[in-house]
Amino acid sequence: MTEFGRFLRTETVGGSILVGATAIALLSANGPWADAYLTLRDTEVGPHFLHLNLTVGDWAKDGLLALFFFVAGLELKRELVVGELSRLKNAMLPVIAAFGGMVVPALVALGVGWGDPRMAQAWAIPVATDIAFALGVLALTASGLPSSARVFLLSLAVVDDLGAILVIAILFTGSFDLVAAGAAVALLVLYWFLQRKRVRTPWVYVPVAVATWVAVHSCGVHATVAGVALALLTRVRADPGEDESPCLRLEHRLQPWSAGLAVPGFALFAAGITINGEALGRLFTDRLSLAIIAGLVVGKLVGIVGSSLLAVRFGVARLPSDLEKRDLVAVAMLGGVGFTVSLLIADLSLDGPDMELAKGAVLVASLLASLLAAVLLLRRSRAHSVG
């Protein structure tokens, strides 16, 4: 891997690029070139065949994020087979924390927005945690925390993203094409067979992966599901004489593209919302936005900490010996950084002004959760350094 690739794999760099892309999106949507930005985002590109005449914004949402979910899926598969999640007692804590961190925010959002018809699908917006953003904040503020804090957050976020992609697949599948679905299954079986036969050339895998994405997109399921499915079929254990397994090799090669292109590219078109006095006023008065903010900032913290402590209390899971309960609270606060996947669900669940309002709420909640987490993490980091 090149030095530039290693640079992009650094969590602080990935988070910084994501923040930069978001800032550019907001400036573009609210500056003198707003019309040009919206025209570019809504320009259709691609053939009509198989419904691939998508807007640039949709290509970022359906195409670029498929790469992000492929990398996230590789991380999850590796953790499940040879990493922290391969040991049941260690796996239970982040898995239960992720489950609590999805259910409680949804319940909080539904409670705050009760009676609002928009919540029928918008309840899913605060269930996700952004891997890149959260790990970037952790890297910047928690140098004194034990490494188990990062492992816990990474494992939680990866499981959380898998849960979010299941929510997307279930909630946002419209018309279902059985022929395209059959083709997707056949291509996934082919990918698994190629992995089993130890085929290594990208000249085979790239066309299979692209065809799988097209088939999943055509069958009506959100195309990002293709990324997770392919990742979970990738071989994790290296053969004798093999320097790296396919999973680790692909993760190392594609993570810079995910962090440096896919996620910022999505943010560039998803975060471009209009900001004015009326929009800001609605952010802090409208029940939809208040529900999303409460779900991410309050629900995530309560869900992650509460489910984790209950699991430890009843002996279902164990807290790492070097991680204190106050460390857990500080790390759990980062769960409120929804960002990428929350923006995606907002895009899928709402339209027009309501979609922009929901995206604004996600940005506000993610910023607030980041700041609160940074304060808590810096305090815990200093406590560990002194201790």
Give residue-wise pLDDT tens across range 20-30: 999 999 999 99
CA distance linking residue 64 with residue 226, whole number of Å:
12
Chain centre to alpha carbon of residue 256: 16
* Total residue length of the chain: 387
How far, in Å, are 87, 123, 284, 285 from residue 114 at the CA level? 40, 10, 17, 15
What's residue 274's pLDDT?
86
Phi, psi of 222, deg, nearest 5:
-60, 135
Secondary structure element (H or E) that encloses residue 182, with its range: helix 178-196
> Residue 45: helix, strand or coil by DSSP?
strand
What's residue 4's pLDDT?
44
CA distance linking residue 198 with residue 193, whole number of Å:
9
Which residues lie below 8 Å from residue 80, measured CB to CB, with a gap of 6+?
86, 91
Residue 218 one-letter amino acid:
S
Q: Which residues of the chain have pLDDT under 50?
A: 1-5, 7-8
Which pTM does this prediction carry?
0.88
As given in the structure block, the two tokens for residue 51 are: 């419904």
How far, in Å, are 55, 121, 216, 230, 347 from residue 176 at the CA level? 21, 19, 10, 20, 20
Phi, psi of 236, deg, nearest 5:
-100, -40
What's residue 98's pLDDT?
93
List pLDDT tens digits, range 352-386: 899 999 999 999 999 999 999 999 999 998 888 77
What's residue 6's pLDDT?
52
Q: How far apart are the first and last CA of the chain?
A: 38
Closest to 345 (Cα-Cα) out of 26, 131, 124, 156: 124
CA distance linking residue 233 with residue 226, whole number of Å:
11
Tokens 């994501």, located at residue: 18
Closest to 188 (Cα-Cα) out of 234, 142, 236, 251: 234
Residue 174 one-letter amino acid:
G
Environment class of residue 279 by beta-carbon count within 10 Å: exposed (0-12), middle (13-18) or buried (19+)?
middle
What's residue 10's pLDDT?
58
Secondary structure element (H or E) that encloses residue 322, with its range: none
What b/e sequence results for 133-171 when a residue is b if at least 16 CB atoms lie within 10 Å of its CB, and e otherwise?
A: bbbbbbbbbbebbbebbbbbbbbbbbbbbbbbbebbbee
What's residue 86's pLDDT?
77
Environment class of residue 189 by beta-carbon count within 10 Å: exposed (0-12), middle (13-18) or buried (19+)?
exposed
